[in-house]
Amino acid sequence: MAMKIDLSGKVALVTGASGELGRVISLQLAECGAAVGLHYNRGRERAEAVESEIKQRGGRACLLEADVTKKSSIEAMREAVERELGAPDILVNGAVIQYAWTSVLEQGVEDYEGQFRSCVLQNVLMAQVFVPAMIRKKYGRIIALNTECAMQNHPNQSAYVSGKRGMDGVLRVLAREIGEHGITVNQVAPGWMISEKDRSNGTEKQPGYDEKVPLRHRGEALDIAHAVAFLASDFSKFITGAYLPVCGGNVMPAI
């Protein structure tokens, strides 16, 4: 029997849907049949473009503006998505605040605080607001976007890594706490993916990086979207607490 990911009848909510990865993930989930709530904070025009594309393909989507570091804002987003599409069965927590990378000795304290809010607190608050409905349904899929950097710990990555490693701990604990309700909690960790800017500038190939990747090239946003769609589906119903690198083998969690 051929495997086909079918998310028909499911409602997904993607935070950071106006970003490059968020856009492709949202389109892929819609292609699999899910209705998709498209969260944005400042990128309304980009989110509108994603919504339009989904609807042109015959899918269902709605726009959701929120600050994912504030519980009241997330609660308002829950009311909006439930009104438009229904209670989410699938959460994809992908929004993040990025800062310029520099050394521990030079990085501003406010950057660490911001990474904590956008990585750790986002996942805590999204769980507090949306998981109770999943518990009532005895079903749910939570997928958060982490990064290969969380395993690499390279110089100048400390603020970013601190936030991502913090969310890793929260999500692993959450997976243990809510698994009995039929809810899985997993992470997808992209490598240095090829961006639209790379395509425009002709910088898809990065020899210094590519030569260290076992597959010898960088990945595409669609590679991340495929992993997310799999973890959102029932094909992954016995997988929880996983940190899944999608980086061509650049990092490999070991037993």
d(CA 186, CA 218): 23
Instruction: Write down the catalytic residue from 40, 99, 160, 243.
Output: 160
143, 232 contact by CB (below 8 A): yes
23, 14 contact by CB (below 8 A): no
d(CA 44, CA 231): 27
The beta strand positions in the chain, using DSSP E, are 11-15, 35-40, 61-65, 90-93, 140-145, 183-190, 243-246
35, 60 contact by CB (below 8 A): yes
Cα 228 to its chain centre, rounded Å, is 8
Contacts (Cβ under 8 Å, ≥6 apart) of 198: 204
User: Does the active-site annotation cover 139?
Assistant: no
3-state SS assignment for residue 141 = strand
Any idea which residues carry the catalytic annotation?
A: 160
